[in-house]
């Protein structure tokens, strides 16, 4: 009787070890994915700050160009150019948000409703 119990216990321990290894490998995979995601988020913020500074510098150069060439452009055209140039990042953000939402809708339609929450 105790021989049968020992065999059963050994089989159960082997099954538990296999399940533990599976859970450990899943944990390692998701931990690695979360680490990569965090690194990507930091890089995106860094790139966004650099692009914002670069855009501000280009905008100031554009303002200086319009100020130094007042004889070629009247004040109304200069102000119109400055407003359009200042509005470009917001317009690009709206356009990219629209395209991204459309991409999510298409992805959601093809993957049986599971992709809607992936990219939020």
pLDDT tens string 53-94: 999 999 999 989 888 888 888 888 888 888 998 898 889 889
Cα torsion 36, 52, 105, 102 to 10°: value is -150
Angle at alpha carbon of residue 74, lines to 71 and 75, rounded to 5°: 120
Q: How far is CA 52 from CA 66, 82, 85, in A?
A: 21, 17, 13
Top-confidence residue, 108 or 82: 82
Listed in sequence order, the residues at least 6 apart from 37 whose beta carbon sits closer than 8 Å to its beta carbon are none
pLDDT at 28 over 80: no
The answer to whether the predicted template modeling score (pTM) of the entire model surpasses 0.85 is no
CA distance 28 to 66: 57
């Amino acid at each position: 009787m105790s021989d049968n119990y020992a065999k059963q216990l050994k089989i159960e321990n082997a099954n538990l070890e296999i399940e533990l290894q599976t859970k450990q490998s899943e944990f390692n995979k998701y931990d690695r994915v979360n680490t990569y995601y965090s690194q990507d988020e930091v890089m995106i913020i860094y790139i966004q700050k650099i692009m914002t500074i670069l855009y501000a510098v280009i905008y100031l150069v554009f303002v200086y160009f319009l100020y130094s060439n007042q004889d070629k452009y009247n004040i109304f055209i200069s102000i119109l150019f400055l407003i359009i140039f200042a509005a470009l990042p917001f317009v690009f953000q709206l356009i990219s948000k629209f395209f991204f939402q459309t991409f999510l809708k298409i992805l959601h339609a093809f993957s049986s409703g599971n992709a809607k929450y992936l990219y939020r």
